[in-house]
Amino acid sequence: MKQYDILILGAGPGGYVAAIKAAQMGAKTAIVEAGELGGVCLNVGCIPTKTLLKSAKVYESIMNADKYGINIGDKSLVSVNVDGMVKRKNQAVKRLTSGVKLLLEKNGVDIYKGFGEVVDKNTVKVNDEVLNIKNLIIATGSSPMIPEVEGIKESFEQGYAVTSTEVLDPKEIPEHLIVVGAGTISIEFATLYNALGSKVTILQRSPRILSGIDKDLSEAMAKVLTRKGVKIVYGVKHKKFEGNKIVVEVNGEEKIFEGDKILVSLGRTPNLKGLESLNLETDRKGIITDERLRTNIEGVYAIGDVNGKDLLAHVASAEGIIAVENIMGKDSKMSYDKIPSCIYSFPEIATVGLTEDEAREKGYDIVVGNFPLGANGKALAEGERDGFVKIVASKEYGEILGVHMMASTATDMIAEGVMTMELEGTLEDLARGIHPHPTLSETVMEAAHLALGSPIHTLKQ
């Protein structure tokens, strides 16, 4: 029977990072994965989605080339090569998953392909092999949550209803895509297929899309999507699926929406199969863990989507490192108050920290600087005027409490907000930091000036 200091169940962005860190810290390490290395993120999530979104952005840019003084003639001759897009996506995925395998092997991690069944906290069975372990890190991830709605199972079996996994491998661009839900995944796919020419309808239960982010951002994104032809229906109650149709109730009135595909995107559920023998404490989100990623079972840790704290790849990776450091004797804690969140729409959305409403609810006396991209030279030059940068700060000391932005490169720009908050920076720090011109990053500096009451390239709010 092989013995390991640390065994990780799952090789997603949490699991494989934990395995590499463990091996580097001197632990005899193994990782178990039933699917492909890289987990959901690399194979059917972050990377393939962004690869397809890039193709969609290129197509959208070509179709709007006249706005940049470029004539392409007959636009009907420009078409989407679906097979080519999917091939490019698969090539990117393969390259990254191969890289993960190489990193694990070069760091001396033993890789087991198969489903890992936990016999007890010190024993894991993979295929016909039994492994003895001192510490276990559960990184089994999550799966799309399928609601209990009449007819939905049959709709999936018929190929009309799909999850975020199936919609990544289209055979053709659907003429009409119905998106059930309006969270991050929903908005990214609505953006993707709208740019590729699909008629897109979003069916949302609550009064606004992206209800978890700053209200100004969600409202701005709703306006952008609507302007681009996406139909958003609010206050929807799902009644039943009928093949390629979904029957809903809107404001007491029954309505039927029909599409070539129906994307069901209503959240995710933790993967807990194979862990039953541990009697782990769980809640509706997943396995309960503390700030050191410990579960209620000594020597057992849980990271990533399976603990339900924050379903983001970079969070899983950070948690993996924290868990390993604690196992190896360091006292490391995970902080969840400065985690950036990104939406790869057109334009992108990125946030970190408290929203304006959250800051007020927590009792902060705040100042807000909201600088529009329309007043930024680089945004005007690139024809990317939609969006803004909003900074929420304490009035007394100017400490940054939250940064919220919509811009074509918001997911890269948000790192400045993250690092400023990590270093307990202030509005004064952001305003005094010299930003290169012309860049979109200048909007962060400008928003800080605005919050301080001395805007440079816009008027006082």
Average pLDDT over residues 84-102: 96
DSSP state of 305: G
> What per-residue confidence (pLDDT) applies to 281?
98
Give the dihedral sign, CA 411/96/145/335.
Answer: negative
Question: What CATH architecture does domain 347-451 belong to?
Answer: 2-Layer Sandwich (3.30)
Fold of 152-266: FAD/NAD(P)-binding domain (3.50.50)
Longest dimension (CA), the chain: 71
453: helix, strand or coil = coil
* Nearest partner of 158 among 256, 247, 264, 244, judged by Cα: 244
Residue set of the binding site for FAD:
50, 116, 140-142
**Catalytic residue (one of 238, 437, 449, 457):** 437
- What's the CA gap between 81 and 85, in Å, rounded? 6
Element at 445 (helix H, strand E): helix 442-451
- What's the CA gap between 289 and 266, in Å, rounded? 24
> What per-residue confidence (pLDDT) applies to 346?
98
46: helix, strand or coil = helix
Buried b (16+ CB within 10 A) or exposed e, 106-118: eeebbbbeebbbb
Q: Where in the chain is the domain with CATH 3.30.390.30?
A: 347-451
> What per-residue confidence (pLDDT) applies to 300?
98
303 falls in which pLDDT band (50, 70, 90)?
very high
- What's the CA gap between 181 and 165, in Å, rounded? 15
137 contacts 324 by C-beta, under 8 angstroms = yes
> What per-residue confidence (pLDDT) applies to 274?
95
> What per-residue confidence (pLDDT) applies to 400?
98
> What per-residue confidence (pLDDT) applies to 459?
85
> What per-residue confidence (pLDDT) applies to 451?
97
460 falls in which pLDDT band (50, 70, 90)?
confident
- What's the CA gap between 352 and 336, in Å, rounded? 10
305 contacts 347 by C-beta, under 8 angstroms = no
> What per-residue confidence (pLDDT) applies to 203?
98
pLDDT in tens, 319-345: 999 999 999 999 999 999 999 999 999
Report the mean per-residue pLDDT for the chain. 97
Residue 184 pLDDT > 90? yes
* Catalytic site includes residue 314: no
pLDDT in tens, 228-279: 999 999 999 999 999 999 999 998 899 999 999 999 999 999 999 999 999 9
Strand order across the 176-180 sheet: 161-162, 261-264, 176-180, 199-203, 231-233
> What per-residue confidence (pLDDT) applies to 215?
97
18 contacts 323 by C-beta, under 8 angstroms = yes
> What per-residue confidence (pLDDT) applies to 1?
81
pLDDT in tens, 185-206: 999 999 999 999 999 999 999 9
Residue set of the binding site:
50, 116, 140-142, 181-188, 267, 305
CATH class, 2-144+269-327 region: alpha beta
- What's the CA gap between 35 and 396, in Å, rounded? 52
Tokens representing 285?
């989100």
Residue set of the binding site for NAD(+):
181-188, 267, 305
> What per-residue confidence (pLDDT) applies to 277?
96
pTM over 0.75: yes
Q: Where in the chain is the domain with CATH 3.50.50.60?
A: 2-144+269-327, 152-266
